Chain A
Amino acid sequence: MPSDTDTTFTMELMYRRSLGPVVGAFLTGLRDQRLLASRTAEGRVICPALEYDPDSGDAVDDLVEVGPGGVVTGWTWVPEPLRKHPSDRPFAWALVQLDGADTALVHALAADGPDAVRTGMRVVPRWADERTGHITDIACFVPEEG
């Protein structure tokens, strides 16, 4: 109100992205609780799936299943989540290299605190109850039990 000297605004645009066969298949997999990756001609397994081999630029259409568990290869702690973050509690953004994949994907990792996260720890996805074919079908990753 007028006594305030700051006014906060939000500008948002929702658009619909056409996915194509590879990214579409990756997100279809998430909806169905399967983690898909692209396998290049050289046998490199890339997750999240890419439509092309980043080394050669060649099209990639060979999809393989990876995970569901994986290893944290890097992370950063988010002490104060923002409105658009996938968690309203402090969490980590983590690079997760899924079992069978040669690259890591970025996702939220739920943990009690930064002391509970370390590079090399094993994690598994926690699936969202309602899955629509979006990266948020994985609600977050959590430390693997035992």
Chain B
Amino acid sequence: MAEDTATEDPGAPVRFMPQLIGLDYTIKTNPVAAAFGAALADGRITGHRCPSCQRVYAPPKGFCPICVVPTGEADLVEVADRGLVTSWTVLTPIQYAGQKEREDYALASILLDGADGTIGQQRLVDVPLDEIRMGLRVEAVWAPPDERVADDRGYGLGSAVSGWRPTGEPDAPPSAYQEHTL
């Protein structure tokens, strides 16, 4: 819109008008998500262990989605800030307003040590795109403490972890991730 008006004669008739449609809203974070966010601010990733099936969910949801059993503080467990890549996608950015990415990048599902489910949409860093593979061992690159903003509902890591980089450990064997591939 700025281009159109800038190139026009300042005395020319006004033909277009920028109009801002906006909505401010507030989300009440549930206590489980708030506790997860507090742990992230502390540099820790936590989950809940289902008292019925013993699976560990990170981030915790406050219930086991398989057994539909409530979970709470008593079920809190800490999971590692490292794990392995179970699947990934290389994205090629197409430029649009607000798009910050310029180069191809990879998002992965990561199975954290101590968790039974993967976390998705995780940025892989410090690894050439053609060297990404299932079983690649990675660790969290934590953002500086004052930049760790939890996401709105506690279902992701927000900005607490800026990416995941290879640890240099040997790859995990297929048996470690065969139930978690897409």
Contacts and interface: CB of A to CB of B under 8 A. Distances in A.
A1 B37 CA distance: 8
Interface in A85-100: none
B68 interface: no
Interface stretch (B18-26, B54-62, B173-181): B18-26
Contacts of A2: 34, 37-41, 148, 150
A133 B12 CA distance: 10
Contact of B17 (A6, A16, A84): A16
Interface string B6-22: 00000001111111111
A7 B21 contact: no
Contacts, number: 93
Main secondary structure of the interface of A (DSSP, over half): mixed
- Interface size class on chain B is 20 to 34
B4 to A, nearest CB: 8
Given A2-B40, A15-B19, A83-B24, A9 B13 contact: no
B17 A14 contact: no
Given A7-B152, A11-B22, A19 B17 contact: yes
- Interface size class on chain A is 20 to 34
A40 interface: no
A134 B17 contact: yes
Contact of B152 (A9, A12, A24, A27): A9
Interface of A: 1-19, 24-25, 27-28, 31, 82-84, 132-134
6 contacts: A1-B148, A7-B29, A13-B20, A16-B4, A84-B20, A133-B17
Interface of B: 1, 4-5, 13-29, 31, 34, 37-41, 148-150, 152
